A = this chain, B = another copy of it.
Amino acid sequence: MSWAFAYAGGMHEDPTVGELSEGEILRRILARTGRAGASLVGPGDDAAVVAAPSGSVVATTDTLIHGPDFRLAWSSGYDLGWKSAAVNLADVAAMGARPTALLVALAMPNDTRASFVEALADGLRDACEALAPGCAVVGGDLTASDVLTIAVTALGDLEGRAPVLRSGARAGDVVAIAGELGRAARGLQVLFTRFRDADGAPVPVDPALLRDGDTGVLEAQLRPAPPIGLGPFAARAGATAMMDVSDGLALDARRMADASAVTIAIDSADLGDDPRIALEGGEDHALLATFPAGALPPGFRPIGRVMPRDEASVHVDGVPYLGAGGWDPYRDWDAAAG
């Protein structure tokens, strides 16, 4: 629908983005996203300017795409704003940095409702406030697309510390986790097994069909709350290596082991009552870190130890772990399967 038509016919109470100018959509977003403490020049100019007091900036980007990454039948605008912030904040935290700012590139079908965009902005703001106080949206981009796409870039400050890389794990270190393992994957299982129609298409969650524990795992899937503050805390406590567990513990531990040229030995007794989903399930964005023996800080629980490199990257209960381990969007996504 063109702007001229909308003007002539009167505006719908909840207009679509196709009825609004780019500037008006932006105003509605910025009215909700707050202001970053580190923001020196906020949205509205060609670029944002963000304080980087330690003389370097941590930067990462992660995208949520309708289809492979979320379904609108299951995720609200608020959920998507929250999750797109949380997954990027986790990447900054995993370097040992404090998140300072988000940039949000939003590509939306023209029939997207303004209320949806506003809820998305609310979710971005609330995730920053709840998980990384002081961080907020400082800039972004709006485009039309047939596929709803949310590409977030997060910036962070190392506060004078060296970044904590994946490659710093040393034999003898303790392997530890802060945050959940496998709960987001269990939430996805609930959605895939119980909230699809006969053709496999997603249908909205009916609260009457939820069983004990479902609410918590759906929350973990739709609005993950990784322990962002524990990232810089772990860095101060002397973490030797750190990363966020986005694709499953087994796969991400393998990446850390390979980058560090060590073997990571995991004790499945430390992985809760369903070690397999803890090893294979992604999207919790827990922090996987290694610390010198005896130096485990509060907030982290031990799940194993670092050994000299042997023939396998990862052992579980003393045996090389050979599971596929984790999610690869190109390999795993079958559009036809819903």
From B50, B140, B149, B243, give the contact of A57 (CB < 8 A).
Answer: B50
Alpha-carbon gap, A22 to B141, bound state (A): 26
Copies of this chain in its oligomeric complex: 2
A65 B143 Cβ-Cβ under 8 A: yes
Q: Which residues of B contact A138 (CB under 8 A)?
A: 59
Closest to A167 in B: B45
Closest to A110 in B: B330
Alpha-carbon gap, A115 to B190, bound state (A): 39
Known: A17-B330, A105-B151, A153-B153. A144 touches B45 (CB 8 A): no
Q: Which residues of B contact A205 (CB under 8 A)?
A: none
Known: A143-B69, A151-B105. A58 touches B49 (CB 8 A): yes
Q: Which residues of B contact A53 (CB under 8 A)?
A: 55
Within 8 A of B (CB), among A19-62: 20-23, 25, 40-41, 44-53, 55-62
A46 B330 Cβ-Cβ under 8 A: no
Alpha-carbon gap, A331 to B49, bound state (A): 29
Using a CB–CB cutoff of 8 Å, the interface residues on chain A facing chain B are: 2-3, 17-18, 20-23, 25, 40-41, 44-53, 55-63, 65, 67-69, 90-92, 94-95, 97, 101, 103-105, 107, 110, 138-147, 149, 151, 153-156, 158, 163, 165-167, 242-244, 259, 328-331, 333, 335
A-B contact pairs, 28 of them (CB 8 A): A3-B331, A17-B330, A21-B331, A22-B329, A40-B163, A41-B165, A44-B166, A44-B259, A45-B163, A45-B166, A45-B243, A45-B259, A46-B92, A46-B95, A48-B60, A49-B163, A51-B56, A60-B103, A61-B103, A61-B139, A63-B151, A105-B105, A105-B151, A107-B147, A145-B147, A146-B147, A147-B147, A151-B151
